[in-house]
A and B are shown apart, each in its own frame.
Chain A
Amino acid sequence: MPATIVQTNPVPFNRVAIDPVTLDIIENALRNARIEMDATLVRTAMSPGIREQGDAFPLIADHTGKMIVGQFGSFIDGFLRNFDGTLEDGDLIFLSDPYSVDGAISHSNDWLVLLPVFKDGRLIGYTSMFGHQSDIGGKVVGSMPINAHAIFEEGVRIPPVKLWKQGAFNADLLKLVLHQTRKPDWCLADLNALIASCRVAARRVIEMAERFGDDVYFSATQELLARNHRAMKALIGMAIAEQPVSFEDYICDDGMGAGPYRIRCTMHREGEQVVLDFDGTDPQSAASINFYLNENMFKMFFGIYMIMVFDPQILFNDGFYDLIDVRIPAGSLLKPKFPAALSGRTHALGRIFDILGGLLGQKTPEFLNAAGFSSSPHLFYAGNDTRADRGGEWFQLFQIGFGGIPGRPMGDGPDGHSLWPGFTNVPNEFLERYFPLRIERYECAPDSGGAGLHRGGDGIHMTYRFLSAGVIAIHDDRWFVPPWGVNGGKPGGRARKILEKADGTMQIVGNKVEDLAVEADDQLHFITWGGGGWGDPLDRDPALVGREIREGLVTSGGALAYGVVADATGTVDAAATETLRAQIRTDRGPLALFDFGPDIAALRAACLDETGLPAPVQPQWPHLAAAE
């Protein structure tokens, strides 16, 4: 049953001719409104995930639900098809169940607010925003249990409901939801922030319609979609071949000992349409690493990558959707069947971007970037704060880490930066003041960036010293299958986690662990992946390699990957370097477009030696009959 939209004014919008200048003005104003949504959100949210790290995504759509500005594409069309109710002036929809919106949000931690914008009795658009809640209840602190087998274990699930109904606030509903979480104060503040952002944008939409007239505003949104359609059509014709190209990459494991899981995508063009087919992707996992990938969201990712890689001037919106056909096999890792657990979807979400990069760039190596996405590495730490004057109060931390940006056509990948839009790290002094933690180290992990003419960014070596006993959980990936290099560049370093006990003993811990008890004065070395390298490392200026040794970004041992012989002070031995480079050139074969490192069998064989962890075993299917 589709949603019923109740409009008191039945007059349809008129498509009117619109001059290009007015169109550009409206486009610009919409862009500003979106910036305003972000600003409102981060200034009023409270959970560190949103306020410090910016884990939230805004959207402004036209009256049919097509995204005009935003970056994750619109889910509204799917929502309207599935929502069994009315949509009226004064309503505000609130939801968190991925299965209710075709995966527009991909785990229950993301709370979404959707505000239909009415003007003079007519629906004129939508504003929407979702953000990651630090805790929504469920079996573990942070609500993202690696070992969940069903979404019911992952905290409160909110189907689409009206938090505001025709202008009336449903306080009881909110009370019921907040009662399920360990951090009702954060959830409430963040929800307020999401709503405030949507209301700000709705005001801007109405102001624009008042300024230009409803029909002009309506026509402008349609023309913006059409303009984007034309631009993408030209771009697709230029950049995408009819012959199929395929690319595949892996999620290292599911945290339950099985892995790697393959994600495969094949792309080809049929006339003006691009087909992206995930046939060959592994079936869904029995654990929570499934990523319910919304087709429209993937279209948007594809569009944004096309634009960024080939022509960054274009503003993206939903206008090009019918140019792209996304096919995802049901029951696969990317379209799991209900009630599969979804909370650990961040790894596959990250991997999707490496796959897009590999797909789009392989016929145009000059535009190709190396791999750099692990995921959003998470650390959870919870317990009672035993520091003086803290009264043993409950604390819980959810922190997102960063790694190396890949080597790129334009140059080196930045060290320890975020691939996600708008994310920032949390100041360590903030962590130390508000949590029983001392951050003993926060530096680049030298040599973790893949060697290349353009070096991949180094990952981060962060050392947490726990000052109170508690439990931690870790979610990370790229510990088993390395981030690949391109055009002769080498793969980046893999992620590692080491627990150093107070007595000095070292214990390798997994990259996906849940409920690990830690004692006061234990130290966790949380080491993230490095970006893959770009271009032949033997072409990199030896003096630059020498300087990076002095900078602590590369070691003298690591310099050998560039064919550079240098001591620990970065002094380069020019003659030895020349000899070594000549030797490597003679010994090696032709450079491949992609350097994935060893194959899966070889990675398995060397896993224990190299990582200190047992190799993941090949996942078996079918495992579970899906419940209905």
Chain B
Amino acid sequence: MGYRLGVDVGGTFTDLLLLETGTGAFWRHKTPSTPHDSSVGILNGVTAICAAAGIAPDAIAYFLHGTTVATNAVLEGKGAKVGLVTTEGYRHIMQIARSFVPGGLAGWIIWPKPQPLAALEHTVTVKGRIGADGREVRPLDEDDVRTQLGLLKAAGVEAVTVSLINAYVNGAHEARIGAIAREIMPDAPVSLSHEVLPEMQEYERTLTTVANAAVRPIVGKYVANLRTRLAEAGMAGNLSLLRSDGGLMSAHKAETQPVNILMSGPAGGVTGAIWVGRNAGIRNIMTLDVGGTSTDVALIENLEPRRQRTTEVGHLSVRASALDVKTVGAGGGSIAYVPDLTGALRVGPQSAGAVPGPVAYAKGGTAPTVTDANVVLGYLPENLLGGTFRLDRAGARAAVQTIADRLGIGLMEAARGIIDIVNENMFGALRMISVQQGYDPRDFALMGFGGAGPLHVNAVARLMGSWPAISPVSPGVLCALGDATTRMRTETARSFSRLAAQTSAEDLIAVLDEMAAQTRAELIADGVPEAEVSSLFEVDVRYAGQAFEVPLTITADDLRRDGMGGILARFDAEHLRLFTFNMETPHEIVNLRAVAQGQVPDLPAPQIARGDGNPRAAFMREHVMWMDGREQTGAIYDRARLRAGDVIQGPAIVCEMDSTTLIETGCVGTVDACGNILITLA
């Protein structure tokens, strides 16, 4: 069977996880990222991890990769020079956007004016019009098209996008412009909105098309470079990238549809959590991925992550499916401060980042951070990263003392206050994906990972009532694990926009079958054996007149058996759960989506040796920490020496190479068969 290698490139570290598919044995490695050329860091990691496993790189059959290259291109405005062709009268479609100004009343005073992703200088309009019913109102003026495309060519645009009004009903004009563009600018890739996103709402469709075109050359270059480097290293396996929705797509396909990998980074942790949950027998999970500057949270119900129809990147909301991951500016590097006017304790969203970092890292940081508070309280003992790195405990104390002085409270109270506030911010994000979506957090476990997740997971689980709190095996490389263990996926979407009473299950099935054939063909073309492809459908339903839809997942068999009535009944139940009421109003079927997926790879986690329940073999030493308003003596354990079945009484700390798990007073951590620590109330 060979090996699967998951690789996650973060801002500071590149994480690798190598799985031997037959035995489930795995190796992990962390190496500094190389932002100027990520492939350097990746290759360093590949060399090291292959050496550790005693294999040659050509034994790696699948190279599976989560990357923020597309995200950063958008956030940093480093995308390609995109030309946009739109309908006469709509030149400022990207400039006006949805007219929305965030920040509440008077928020406009402090809101920076955004620059559109397709420069206005490179936006042209053409004569010709399609009506809302799909009929041609005015023919396309091809002379005008040639003139306008000539302007874009002269301006040196690197990619052409075409997004016309009502193209979601009839893409003929777009297709014709695309053909002329290929003729005039044979080297520039062309994206048509009715192909990228055949859905109503001109701004969102245009933005999505432009975003796709803007990141395409960058992703293309990135993939080509990576492919070359890997080949040089002797690796010949499949190269796939993680999509924002948690599935994999071939690198080849990602080059043409990069809009689908905009949130590839955070998706890895969620798919990793699913793998851990499957092995631990826990099917309902909320994830808590705590990094240096921010925390990502997501909800997994019955081992399926919640998805949403939009990908949020910076201030842009792109219409591409993504895992419903919410991000808050709360992480280890979040800075604590006390504003003069209110005298309130605030934590984040400003972050000390990787440089200068927390005071305790002694890299020049002076502002007190969450990490410093953790150090002061004794939650982060001794060394991080297996001993290469000493913490400046005195510096952390002095920094946190400034907060204590401003608040007029003791050092420990101030430190604990910082932790409580940051936990509360994480709690706020978790509420948005649970309570606000109608889920009871008490029905879910909470899994903490990323550098600092296991440090906060116990306290946040207590706030949420979400037990057990899980510290998974290898919490520091869970994203790479997710890259390595998820499956291939693709999807397509279409506007349907008909009242339920005016259509039938047969109509739906006819359209969905056609869409299923398309997505199956895509996966097969991507190398998935036909027998392994499964299809499912999503139908967006709302009460006619509402602006938001509720997506329902169905199979063709459900649809045949229960008919339209079955869908509507499910919608009513879901609406009641979400919003507490139902209405007599007619239902509208808004959008249809077909999803094709490959098989979930059969990758059971290896089991660790079973002990007698007593963790003494892993005991390192006693340790004093501040908890529940007093100093308490607990123990520090070495995670590598824990055995299945070991029960750890809080307060305790479990250390490993790249992460620290905190078990609070009044809680116990139980090590499961795979080595995950499940924390519950004692």
Interface of A toward B, CB cutoff 8 Å: 19-21, 23-25, 27-29, 32, 35-36, 39-40, 42-46, 51-52, 71-72, 185-186, 188-189, 192-193, 195-196, 199-200, 227-228, 230-231, 234-235, 301, 304-305, 307-309, 311-315, 353, 369, 372, 387-388, 402, 405, 408, 410-425, 427-430, 432-433, 438-444, 460, 463, 547, 550-553
Is the CB–CB distance between B546 and A552 below 8 Å?
A: no
A463: contacting residue among B89, B203, B346, B545, CB under 8 A: B89
Is the CB–CB distance between B98 and A309 below 8 Å?
A: no
Is the CB–CB distance between A415 and B92 below 8 Å?
A: yes
B409: contacting residue among A20, A228, A414, A429, CB under 8 A: A20
Q: Which residues of A contact B112 (CB under 8 A)?
A: 410-411
Chain B: minimal CB distance from A496 (Å): 17
Specify the chain B residue showing the minimal Cβ separation from A400: B99
Is the CB–CB distance between B546 and A305 below 8 Å?
A: no
**CB within 8 Å for A189 and B96 given contacts A231-B341, A314-B342, A414-B101:** no
Is the CB–CB distance between B546 and A419 below 8 Å?
A: no
**CB within 8 Å for A314 and B201 given contacts A29-B424, A417-B99, A418-B100:** no
**CB within 8 Å for A24 and B344 given contacts A192-B581, A416-B96, A552-B120:** yes
**CB within 8 Å for A227 and B343 given contacts A189-B543, A199-B580:** yes
A443: contacting residue among B92, B111, B340, B580, CB under 8 A: B92
State in angstroms the CA–CA spacing of A418 and B102 once bound together.
10
Is the CB–CB distance between A46 and B421 below 8 Å?
A: no
Fill in one digit per residue for B120-136: 1 if any A CB lies within 8 Å of its CB, else 0.
11000000010111000
Residue of B93, B120, B497 with most chain A CB atoms under a 10 A cut-off: B120
Q: Which residues of B contact A553 (CB under 8 A)?
A: 92, 95, 120
Chain B: minimal CB distance from A355 (Å): 13
State in angstroms the CA–CA spacing of A45 and B104 once bound together.
20
Q: Is B108 an interface residue (CB 8 A)?
A: yes
Interface contacts beyond A308-B107, A550-B120: sample of 13 additional A-B pairs, CB < 8 Å, sorted by A: A25-B421, A28-B424, A46-B543, A185-B545, A234-B341, A313-B346, A314-B341, A417-B99, A419-B101, A424-B100, A438-B131, A460-B96, A550-B121
B residues 442-458 near A (Cβ < 8 Å) are none
Please name 10 pairs of A and B residues whose Cβ atoms are closer than 8 Å in the assembled complex, sorted by A. Answer: A28-B428, A46-B546, A408-B109, A417-B96, A417-B99, A417-B100, A421-B105, A422-B104, A430-B200, A442-B93
B residues 400-446 near A (Cβ < 8 Å) are 407, 409, 413, 416-417, 420-421, 424-425, 428, 431-432, 435-436
Specify the chain B residue showing the minimal Cβ separation from A548: B120
Q: Which residues of A contact B91 (CB under 8 A)?
A: 443, 552
Specify the chain B residue showing the minimal Cβ separation from A414: B113
Is the CB–CB distance between B341 and A36 below 8 Å?
A: no
Fill in one digit per residue for B534-562: 1 if any A CB lies within 8 Å of its CB, else 0.
00000000010111100000000000000
Q: Which residues of A contact B510 (CB under 8 A)?
A: none
Q: Is B509 an interface residue (CB 8 A)?
A: no
Q: Which residues of A contact B97 (CB under 8 A)?
A: 417
Is the CB–CB distance between A43 and B497 below 8 Å?
A: no
Q: Which residues of B contact A315 (CB under 8 A)?
A: 342
Q: Which residues of A contact B107 (CB under 8 A)?
A: 308, 421
The 7 A-B residue pairs whose C-beta atoms are closest, nearest first, are A441-B89, A432-B132, A46-B545, A21-B417, A416-B96, A308-B106, A551-B120
Chain A: minimal CB distance from B342 (Å): 5
Chain B: minimal CB distance from A81 (Å): 26
Residue of B341, B345, B417, B497 with most chain A CB atoms under a 10 A cut-off: B341
Q: Is B585 an interface residue (CB 8 A)?
A: yes
**CB within 8 Å for A227 and B344 given contacts A415-B92, A551-B121:** yes
Is the CB–CB distance between A42 and B548 below 8 Å?
A: yes
Chain B: minimal CB distance from A52 (Å): 6
Is the CB–CB distance between A192 and B132 below 8 Å?
A: no
Fill in one digit per residue for B48-84: 1 if any A CB lies within 8 Å of its CB, else 0.
0000000000000000000000000000000000000
State in angstroms the CA–CA spacing of A361 and B342 once bound together.
23
Q: Which residues of A contact B132 (CB under 8 A)?
A: 429, 432-433, 438
A427: contacting residue among B133, B201, B339, B409, CB under 8 A: B201
Q: Which residues of B contact A463 (CB under 8 A)?
A: 89
Chain B: minimal CB distance from A19 (Å): 7
Q: Which residues of A contact B346 (CB under 8 A)?
A: 24, 313
**CB within 8 Å for A196 and B579 given contacts A20-B417, A189-B543, A301-B105:** yes
Q: Is B296 an interface residue (CB 8 A)?
A: no
Q: Is B137 an interface residue (CB 8 A)?
A: yes
Q: Is B103 an interface residue (CB 8 A)?
A: yes
Q: Which residues of A contact B101 (CB under 8 A)?
A: 405, 414, 417-419, 421
B residues 434-490 near A (Cβ < 8 Å) are 435-436
Interface of B toward A, CB cutoff 8 Å: 89-93, 95-101, 103-114, 120-121, 129, 131-133, 137, 165-166, 168, 200-204, 339-346, 407, 409, 413, 416-417, 420-421, 424-425, 428, 431-432, 435-436, 497, 543, 545-548, 578-581, 583, 585
Is the CB–CB distance between A71 and B421 below 8 Å?
A: no
Is the CB–CB distance between B344 and A192 below 8 Å?
A: no
Is the CB–CB distance between B407 and A20 below 8 Å?
A: yes
Chain B: minimal CB distance from A311 (Å): 6
Q: Which residues of A contact B417 (CB under 8 A)?
A: 19-21
State in angstroms the CA–CA spacing of A51 and B345 once bound together.
36
Q: Which residues of B contact A416 (CB under 8 A)?
A: 92, 95-96, 99
Specify the chain A residue showing the minimal Cβ separation from B419: A21
Specify the chain A residue showing the minimal Cβ separation from B431: A32
State in angstroms the CA–CA spacing of A36 and B137 once bound together.
43
Is the CB–CB distance between B98 and A425 below 8 Å?
A: yes
State in angstroms the CA–CA spacing of A308 and B103 once bound together.
10
Is the CB–CB distance between B92 and A427 below 8 Å?
A: no
**CB within 8 Å for A425 and B96 given contacts A42-B548, A432-B132:** yes
State in angstroms the CA–CA spacing of A247 and B346 once bound together.
37
Is the CB–CB distance between B93 and A421 below 8 Å?
A: no
B579: contacting residue among A44, A51, A387, A388, CB under 8 A: A44
Is the CB–CB distance between B579 and A308 below 8 Å?
A: no
Is the CB–CB distance between B92 and A433 below 8 Å?
A: no
Is the CB–CB distance between B92 and A313 below 8 Å?
A: no
Is the CB–CB distance between B92 and A552 below 8 Å?
A: yes
Chain B: minimal CB distance from A208 (Å): 12
Q: Which residues of B contact A547 (CB under 8 A)?
A: 121
**CB within 8 Å for A308 and B109 given contacts A51-B547, A551-B121:** yes
Chain B: minimal CB distance from A432 (Å): 4
B200: contacting residue among A46, A199, A427, CB under 8 A: A427
Q: Which residues of A contact B120 (CB under 8 A)?
A: 550-553
Q: Which residues of A contact B497 (CB under 8 A)?
A: 433
Chain A: minimal CB distance from B627 (Å): 15
**CB within 8 Å for A304 and B99 given contacts A44-B546, A231-B342, A313-B342:** no
Is the CB–CB distance between B425 and A28 below 8 Å?
A: yes
B165: contacting residue among A19, A308, A314, A429, CB under 8 A: A429
Is the CB–CB distance between A21 and B92 below 8 Å?
A: no
Chain A: minimal CB distance from B326 (Å): 12
**CB within 8 Å for A402 and B543 given contacts A24-B346, A313-B341, A443-B90:** no
State in angstroms the CA–CA spacing of A32 and B434 once bound together.
13
Q: Which residues of B contact A314 (CB under 8 A)?
A: 339, 341-342
Is the CB–CB distance between B137 and A312 below 8 Å?
A: no
